[in-house]
Amino acid sequence: MANILLVEDDTTFATILENFLKKKGFDVVVKYSVKSGIEALKRDTFHLILLDYRLGDGIGLDIVDALRVEGKAIPSIIMTSFNDVRTAVKAIRQGVFDYITKPVNPDELLMVVNEALEGKSTERERPALHNQPNEMLTTMETDFVEGTSTAARKLHDYIALVAPTDMSVLIRGESGTGKEYVARSIHQMSKRADKPFVSIDCGTLSKELASSELFGHVKGSFTGALNDKTGQFVEASGGTLFLDEIGNLSYDVQVKLLRALQEKVIQPVGANKTVNVDVRVIAATNEDLLGSGKFREDLYHRINEFEIIVPALRDRRGDFQQFVDFFISKANVELGRQVNELADEVREIFGAYDWPGNLRELKNVVKRMVLLSPGTRAEVSALPEEMVFAIKNPDSAANPTPSSDNPDLRLHSEAHERKLIMDVLQKAKYNKSKAAQMLNIDRKTLYNKMEKYGIE
């Protein structure tokens, strides 16, 4: 039975979620702050973490960061308002499994929870590593349609061009565009196709563990090194090593990586001898590595012998319907549905939305839509309410204006919070309990935010 840690500072909502999950057979531990959530993780073992994005003493990602520092891996799901979806999408590259928007649909929540738990029923020490036989395409690999647009043809022409070489490749693109699919395609079309493809999500590796994961270590080289460990450079010997979100590597690890690429040797942590390696490195990022000021320029040029830019979904409108049809077909099989038609309004909303989460977001929205469509036709009621609202009220969605007439604090960005809190306090005649109720937060959270913004 899976043990779930729920961190949510809205006590009423937390109770509703707790009761729902317990009825579905899960064990649930509820905490109401970042601090208490981190303490719970130190005491007990959990199989899944369900996190509110905005908490009274921080954000849910603070817990994910603490988990990474500990070197543990527990799949986590972020719950967020629709206006925070772009932030939630970015959170995925920090190790978050998925996100779900509020108000939470019970069936959708159960689906996402079960997906996160599949194959992840026990806490693992090396979550970011995937080394699978090439003939066994993973679900993620097949979540990509080649497409027929000009952008699609250019992308796959570049893949075919560079694949037979041994050049290092840097894949750039927004989160959710399918960068690992591109990396696997390059590997499968290369001379190394019969050798391992090892994928490492650098966003989930702490500074302390990155060197050990990449290069290995010898027993006793640091606290917790109870046995010798083979690094992923050796595991990928003869094949391809994919470093996703490479910009997250620390400066010290970048130095070691540069040496490995230049000299084709690695030195395990604590070892006196070097090990020869034969590995093709493909890296990926969704940021400007040189512009960040945190990435070595010499390493950048070493990994960027050939650059491939994966276009965002909004720039692939010619392929969009193919992606939708593909994800509907896939969801029908997985969920036992028979959706084969979209209402005109659904098509209009899909066409008008800018899809900041790209293919990953499209897949999630389509799967949710299929889940909520008992018949063969998907209606607009199966789409997230906030998505429909954002399209029908573009000014409100893009630039939410703080208003004491719509005071739910969870619908507003931090940039507007201080003004909104002050407006609501004035409207509540400075009755903090009443103000907290109007803002849809508890009183402790209101006190924390007042202190944060210097509100007397």
User: Which CATH number do you get for residue 346?
Assistant: 1.10.8.60
Confidence of residue 126 (pLDDT cuts 50, 70, 90): very low
State whether 71 and 151 are in the same domain. no
Confidence of residue 95 (pLDDT cuts 50, 70, 90): low
Q: Does residue 289 fall inside a structural domain? A: yes
Q: Does residue 139 fall inside a structural domain? A: yes
**Residue 456: pLDDT over 90:** no
Domain span at residue 405 reads: 400-452
Q: Does residue 195 fall inside a structural domain? A: yes
State whether 179 and 265 are in the same domain. yes
pLDDT of amino acid 408: 47
State whether 236 and 330 are in the same domain. no
Q: Does residue 268 fall inside a structural domain? A: yes
Preceding omega of 394 cis (within 30 degrees of 0): no
What are the distances in angstroms from CA 228 to CA 196, 198, 431? 21, 20, 61
State whether 95 and 143 are in the same domain. no
Q: Does residue 435 fall inside a structural domain? A: yes
Which residues are registered as beta bridge partners of 379? none
CB-CB neighbours of 216 under 10 Å: 23
**Residue 313: pLDDT over 80:** yes
Distance CA 4, CA 20 (A): 12
Asked which of 117, 142, 176 is the last residue of a domain, the reply is 117
Kindly report the CATH number assigned to the domain that includes residue 416.
Answer: 1.10.10
State whether 387 and 284 are in the same domain. no
Q: Does residue 124 fall inside a structural domain? A: no
Average pLDDT over residues 103-119: 81
Kindly report the CATH number assigned to the domain that includes residue 27.
Answer: 3.40.50.2300
Alpha helices in 189-296 (DSSP H): 207-215, 232-235, 251-263, 289-292
State whether 217 and 287 are in the same domain. yes
State whether 157 and 258 are in the same domain. yes
Secondary element (H or E) of residue 275: strand 275-276
Query: In this predicted model, which residue has the larger pLDDT, 334 or 283?
Result: 283
pLDDT of amino acid 225: 66
Distance CA 219, CA 24 (A): 43
pLDDT of amino acid 397: 43
State whether 415 and 321 are in the same domain. no
**Residue 137: pLDDT over 50:** no
State whether 299 and 330 are in the same domain. no
Q: Dig out the tokens for 115 from the structure.
A: 């997906």
State whether 277 and 388 are in the same domain. no
State whether 330 and 289 are in the same domain. no
416, 400 Cβ separation under 8 angstroms: yes
- Residue 30 phi/psi, 5-degree rounding, is -105, 130
Q: Does residue 107 fall inside a structural domain? A: yes
State whether 68 and 55 are in the same domain. yes
Average pLDDT over residues 45-72: 82
Q: Does residue 122 fall inside a structural domain? A: no
**Residue 159: pLDDT over 90:** yes
Q: What is the pTM of this model?
A: 0.66
Query: In this predicted model, which residue has the larger pLDDT, 275 or 130?
Result: 275
pLDDT of amino acid 11: 84
Number of structural domains, the chain?
4
Kindly report the CATH number assigned to the domain that includes residue 256.
Answer: 3.40.50.300
